[in-house]
Amino acid sequence: MVERQIRRRGIVDPAILAAFAQVPRKAFVPEALAEFAYDDGPLPIGAGQTISQPYIVARMIDAANVRAGDRVLEVGAGSGYAAAVLSRIAGEVFAIERHESLASEARERMAALGYDNCTVVTGDGLAGLPDEGPFDAILVAARGARVPQALKRQIAIGGRLVIPIGGEDVQQLRRIERTGEDAWSARDIAAVRFVPLLPDVVPENRAPPE
């Protein structure tokens, strides 16, 4: 997976490649789909959510220029796979998931793998985690029509935010860098498809909206 799906598509950062090699994607997909864990595509994980294609996760981490010692926020943790990969590079990772059931399962996986520098919380990703910021990098694994202001304000000066922006059919993966107290620069990286970024929290005993 690392060689064929990631390195051969141009992701050559040794830290990123090593992190993907360390984290077993099989541990983050439903048991019934384990045989497809290393396929080149997303997979359903329950609650209407998916685990992203490995290459897209790598592309986002590369675009965010995540480095050793960074404090990173991931919005839309899902199964916890991307957060786990990030935790093998960054100093500290916080991941937000609005579905309590998914967040609970992700925490169990982190504990089982011994990834103790990654904290998964249930919460509203649109609000970020202001009490833990600022962050050197923020990665958003869900699409939006615009960049949430709360997340822009939680990037450290010099920090990077990567988020898919656009409508339902296709989005542009956008990299935003905070260049000053009230200044940001942005550029689009690639066309992608993600589930929507939604507010509020979905408790374990309540079905998500159709």
- Beta bridge partners, 183, equal 180
- Is 197 inside any structural domain? no
With bands split at pLDDT 50, 70 and 90, how would you rate the model's confidence at 206? very low
pLDDT of 122 above 60 = yes
Q: What are phi and psi of 144, to 5 degrees?
A: -145, 160
Chain Cα centroid distance, residue 133: 16
* Number of separate domains in the chain: 1
Residue 48's pLDDT is 86
Q: Are strands 135-140 and 71-75 parallel, antiparallel or unpaired?
A: parallel
Domain hosting 122: range is 2-192
Residues involved in catalysis: 52
pLDDT of 208 above 70 = no
Six token digits for residue 137: 């990098």
- Is 199 inside any structural domain? no
State the average pLDDT over residues 106-125. Answer: 96
Share of the chain above pLDDT 90, in %: 82
pLDDT of 209 above 60 = no
- CATH code: domain of residue 135: 3.40.50.150
Q: List, for residues 53-110, the tens digit of each pLDDT value.
A: 999 999 999 999 999 999 999 999 999 999 999 999 999 999 999 999 999 999 999 9
Q: List, for residues 136-172, the tens digit of each pLDDT value.
A: 999 999 888 889 999 999 999 999 999 999 888 889 9
Dihedral sign for Cα atoms in the order 152, 157, 162, 167: positive
- 76 contact partners, CB below 8 Å, separation of at least 6: 49, 96, 97, 98, 125, 140, 141, 142, 195, 197
- Is 65 inside any structural domain? yes
Q: Which residue has the higher pLDDT, 198 or 89?
A: 89
In one letter, which amino acid is 83? A
Residue 193's pLDDT is 83
Residue 81 contacts residue 105 (beta carbons within 8 Å): no
- Is 205 inside any structural domain? no
- Is 35 inside any structural domain? yes
